[in-house]
């Protein structure tokens, strides 16, 4: 596998300019000859499809949703980072870059992250121009809030709905391009295979979810913006339909899968309440601006929070990390919560919870200010738990939220398969081993609005659209047969266990052995259990309904089949990465105080997995990480 990162030479601050200057362009009148497939319409997909449409390319956009406005980007609550320095508090492109590199525990590429920080300011300009109703100050200028892992206030927000508002902005731009005929929108359409012709990505195979019809679509380039795979854990904060199928099937066509074990556990979610639970709900990290996190000092203290006096409370983040306090990064806050619960000091019925207390903030700012800042989050909390967080502290616990791992891409966001570009959460590129809050929205829109338009032209300029492979090409035939084969096989099992029961069992294995803390013994155990479960899945799956109609069980079965394979790679990657960094915490590698122990000598690299065929062990390649500008240090938030 060839892993050429294509990072331009020269000083960090000039790399992106150099790349743009050196990239080949496509003449305006030639752009309409090129066809580009964009799969997904979250922030990355919708912004890419709209922007490429504006440029004049012919774009085909595929979503499995009923409309391109529902992708899981909508659920992001807290905000989007940008190095505008509107607060005059010392922010700069370099500081955003440095915070992101350090937040990712020095496991991301310098050049990619620097570019992300550079274009961050343009994103805010673009979104404001589109009419995104960001929060404002009384003078009419934009407001900011602070977020985890940063000592400046650089986060822009739209109440607790920033993701939804940014997505509506991208969706509205997409709507305009659809109306103009530059983008053709395919809804209820799930990509089930990637078509590779002579080593280049030239199309996809799609199932119409309403009719079951399988169709072939060709193009000069394929962009996957299909999100992350956190649902491999069954319970996560992701939407229920979020899945890995598009990137997994691309992996099986030869795309490298990078750092699959870099998964993020978000510290502030509503705790699990019962076995029936289908998903976990996030409470935005922005709450940590004003909420204080604590547990009782005494283990097993079952008194109500109000009756525990101040001196018997342990504000453990403020105690352990005095300079960042409640705003330390997500991985650190999550592990600290696990530690205090393991000590028997957790709260709530299950003992797996900590308090997030607003009483001090309410005293300081008044209820109205808190309502204005977080009203909808308090409402969500009330709807789910029936508790009023204005009066009693919220109970929170970490939950799987995001994946930093994904398909490997170079500086151009192209995978090792030429013509296959991967954007947003689906790629691995910018967050290293841990993502900072309010950076996912930034990356999705950076990729779609400001990176792909420049880099895709460099690829397309060397392609001849007149020689675009036709859908009659044998590679399309083979891919379609592959898809039909999988569906047929799933429907012919006729076993006794539902797909949900398999998914749930897989999730238990993953959370138990590959969750917040991982160990060699646990991972080896998981690597025994997963193939066994997968084998049972393929022999004992009960799948109602047929393939030529809307069949939600069939859709889910295909996705869970892929999760059952991806889970194994995730555990394997976690086993091979014999260090602790960011969201990947190996119990064997920690300092006496429980902090993660990174091993830069042996693991300062991206692990990239290459598929070798069914029942064959994948091969692990590495791309070394070169730090020219920053010196990887022990990450300290103390």
Partner 1 sequence: MKIKLKVWRQKNAESPGRFEIYDTPELNPNMSFLEMLDVVNEELALKGIEPIAFAHDCREGICGTCSCVINGKPHGPHRGVATCQTYMRSFKDGDLVLVEPFRARPFPVIKDLIVNRAAFDKIMQAGGYITARVGSAPEANNLPVPKENAELAMDAAQCIGCGACVAACKNASAMLFTAAKVSHLGYLPQGQPERYLRVKAMVEAMDAAGFGACTVTGSCEAVCPKNINLTFIARMNRDYALALLKGEPKKTSTVAA
Q: Which of residues 29-48 bind partner 1 (CB under 8 A)?
A: 47
- Residue 68 CB, shortest distance to partner 1, in Å, is 8
Options 131, 322, 344, 594; binder of partner 1; rule CB under 8 A:
131
Closer of 552 and 636 to partner 1 (Cβ):
552
Chain-centroid distance, C-alpha 206: 23
Q: Which of residues 147-186 bind partner 1 (CB under 8 A)?
A: 158-159, 161, 164-165, 168, 171-173, 175-176, 178-179, 185
Pull the structure tokens for residue 348.
């709530």
Pull the structure tokens for residue 622.
């590495």
Distance separating alpha carbons of residues 50 and 29, to the nearest angstrom: 18
Q: Which of residues 543-572 bind partner 1 (CB under 8 A)?
A: 544-545, 549-550, 552-553
Closer of 49 and 195 to partner 1 (Cβ):
49
Options 27, 215, 273, 477; binder of partner 1; rule CB under 8 A:
273
Closer of 312 and 549 to partner 1 (Cβ):
549
Binding string, residues 461-500; x marks residues near partner 1 by CB under 8 A: -----------------------------------x-x-x
Which residue in 330, 335, 534, 635 is the catalytic one? Answer: 330
Options 22, 276, 311, 472; binder of partner 1; rule CB under 8 A:
276
Q: How far apart are the first and last CA of the chain?
A: 41
Closer of 84 and 313 to partner 1 (Cβ):
84
What does 613-636 look like in DSSP terms, one character per residue?
A: -TTSPPEEEEEE---SSS------
Options 57, 86, 411, 609; binder of partner 1; rule CB under 8 A:
86
51 binds partner 1 (CB under 8 A): yes
Closer of 3 and 493 to partner 1 (Cβ):
493
Distance separating alpha carbons of residues 396 and 348, to the nearest angstrom: 9
- Residue 595 CB, shortest distance to partner 1, in Å, is 33
Distance separating alpha carbons of residues 249 and 224, to the nearest angstrom: 11
Q: Which of residues 240-259 bind partner 1 (CB under 8 A)?
A: 240-241
Q: Of 242, 325, 108, which is closest to residue 559 (Cα–Cα)? A: 242
Q: Which of residues 435-454 bind partner 1 (CB under 8 A)?
A: 449-450, 453
- Residue 171 CB, shortest distance to partner 1, in Å, is 7
61 binds partner 1 (CB under 8 A): no
User: How many chain residues touch partner 1 (CB under 8 A)?
Assistant: 80
- Residue 35 CB, shortest distance to partner 1, in Å, is 20
- Residue 143 CB, shortest distance to partner 1, in Å, is 9
Q: Which of residues 221-240 bind partner 1 (CB under 8 A)?
A: 239-240
The contacts of residue 539 (CB under 8 Å, 6+ apart) are 493, 495
* 562 touches 248 (CB < 8 A): yes
* Pairing state between β 257-258 and 406-407: antiparallel
Closer of 126 and 415 to partner 1 (Cβ):
126
Q: Which of residues 279-308 bind partner 1 (CB under 8 A)?
A: 279, 281-282
Closer of 182 and 434 to partner 1 (Cβ):
182
Distance separating alpha carbons of residues 28 and 469, to the nearest angstrom: 23
In the chain, the largest separation of any two C-alpha atoms, in whole Å, equals 76
Chain-centroid distance, C-alpha 63: 17
- Residue 163 CB, shortest distance to partner 1, in Å, is 8
Closer of 277 and 519 to partner 1 (Cβ):
277
Helix, strand or coil for residue 408? coil
Distance separating alpha carbons of residues 425 and 429, to the nearest angstrom: 9
Q: Of 334, 322, 326, 332, which is closest to residue 267 (Cα–Cα)? A: 334
Closer of 279 and 339 to partner 1 (Cβ):
279
- Residue 246 CB, shortest distance to partner 1, in Å, is 16
136 binds partner 1 (CB under 8 A): yes
Edge-to-edge strand ranges of the sheet holding 183-186: 183-186, 58-62, 35-39, 221-224, 420-422
Q: Of 83, 61, 81, 58, which is closest to residue 71 (Cα–Cα)? A: 61
- Residue 418 CB, shortest distance to partner 1, in Å, is 25
Q: Which of residues 342-401 bind partner 1 (CB under 8 A)?
A: 379-380, 383-384, 386
Contact window for partner 1 (CB under 8 A) among 126-134, 192-200, 409-417, 566-574: 126-134
Backbone angles phi, psi at 357, to 5 degrees: -110, 130
Pull the structure tokens for residue 212.
């079951």
Distance separating alpha carbons of residues 374 and 354, to the nearest angstrom: 19
Distance separating alpha carbons of residues 261 and 264, to the nearest angstrom: 9
The CB density around residue 512, as the number of other CB atoms within 10 Å, is 12
- Residue 122 CB, shortest distance to partner 1, in Å, is 7
DSSP conformation class of 176: H
330 a catalytic residue: yes
State the residue for tokens 């070798």: 612
Options 542, 590, 629, 630; binder of partner 1; rule CB under 8 A:
542
Catalytic residue positions?
330
């Amino acid at each position: 596998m060839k892993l050429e990162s294509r990072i331009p030479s020269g000083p960090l601050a000039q790399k992106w300019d150099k790349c743009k200057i050196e990239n080949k362009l496509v003449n305006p009148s030639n752009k309409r000859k090129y066809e580009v497939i964009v799969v997904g319409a979250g922030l990355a997909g919708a912004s890419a499809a709209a922007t490429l449409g504006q440029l004049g390319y012919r774009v085909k956009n595929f979503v499995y949703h009923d409309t391109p406005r529902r992708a899981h980007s909508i659920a992001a609550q807290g905000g989007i980072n940008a190095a505008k320095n509107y607060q005059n508090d010392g922010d700069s492109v370099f500081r955003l870059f440095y915070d992101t590199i350090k937040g990712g525990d020095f496991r991301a590429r310098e050049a990619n992250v620097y570019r992300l920080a550079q274009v961050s300011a343009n994103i805010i300009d673009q979104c404001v121009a589109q009419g995104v109703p960001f929060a404002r100050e009384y003078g009419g200028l934009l407001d900011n809030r602070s977020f985890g892992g940063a000592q400046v206030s650089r986060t822009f927000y739209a109440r607790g709905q920033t993701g939804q508002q940014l997505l509506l902005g991208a969706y509205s731009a997409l709507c305009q391009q659809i109306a103009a005929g530059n983008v053709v929108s395919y809804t209820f359409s799930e990509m089930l295979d990637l078509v590779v012709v002579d080593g280049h990505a030239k199309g996809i195979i799609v199932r119409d979810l309403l009719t079951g019809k399988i169709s072939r679509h060709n193009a000069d380039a394929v962009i996957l913006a299909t999100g992350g795979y956190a649902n491999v854990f069954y319970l996560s904060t992701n939407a229920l339909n979020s899945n890995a199928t598009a990137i997994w099937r691309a992996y099986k066509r030869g795309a490298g899968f990078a750092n699959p074990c870099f998964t993020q556990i978000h510290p502030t979610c509503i705790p699990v309440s019962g076995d029936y639970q289908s998903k976990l709900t996030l409470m935005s990290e922005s709450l940590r601006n004003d909420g204080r996190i604590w547990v009782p000092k005494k283990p097993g203290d079952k008194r109500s929070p109000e009756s525990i006096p101040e001196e018997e409370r342990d504000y453990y983040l403020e105690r352990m990390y005095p300079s960042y306090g409640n705003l330390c990064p997500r991985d650190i806050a999550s592990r600290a919560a696990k530690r205090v619960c393991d000590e028997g000091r957790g709260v709530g019925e299950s003992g797996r919870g900590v308090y997030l207390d607003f009483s001090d903030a309410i005293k300081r700012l008044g209820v109205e200010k808190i309502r204005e800042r977080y009203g909808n989050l308090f409402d969500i909390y009330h709807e789910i738990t029936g508790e009023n967080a204005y009066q009693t502290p919220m109970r929170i616990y970490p939950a799987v939220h995001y994946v930093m791992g994904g398909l490997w891409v170079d500086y151009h966001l192209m995978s090792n398969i030429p013509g296959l570009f991967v954007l947003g959460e689906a790629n691995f590129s910018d967050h290293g081993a841990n993502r900072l809050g309010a950076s996912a929205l930034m990356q999705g829109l950076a990729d779609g609005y400001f990176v792909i338009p420049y880099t895709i032209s460099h690829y397309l300029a060397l392609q001849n659209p007149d020689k675009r492979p036709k859908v009659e090409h044998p590679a399309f035939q083979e891919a379609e047969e592959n898809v039909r084969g999988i569906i047929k096989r799933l429907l012919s099992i006729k076993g006794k266990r539902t797909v949900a029961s398999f998914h749930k069992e897989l999730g238990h294995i993953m959370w138990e052995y590959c969750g917040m803390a991982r160990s060699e013994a646990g991972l080896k155990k998981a690597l025994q259990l997963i193939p066994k479960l997968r084998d049972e899945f393929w022999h004992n799956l009960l799948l109602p309904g047929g393939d030529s109609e809307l069949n939600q069980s069939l859709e889910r079965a295909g996705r869970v089949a892929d999760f059952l394979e991806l889970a194994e790679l995730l555990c394997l990657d976690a086993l091979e990465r014999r260090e602790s960094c960011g969201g990947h915490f190996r119990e064997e590698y920690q300092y006496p105080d429980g902090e993660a122990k990174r091993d830069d000598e042996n693991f300062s690299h991206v692990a990239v997995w290459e598929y070798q065929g069914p029942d064959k062990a994948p091969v692990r390649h590495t791309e070394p990480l070169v730090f020219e500008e920053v010196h990887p240090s022990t990450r300290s938030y103390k």
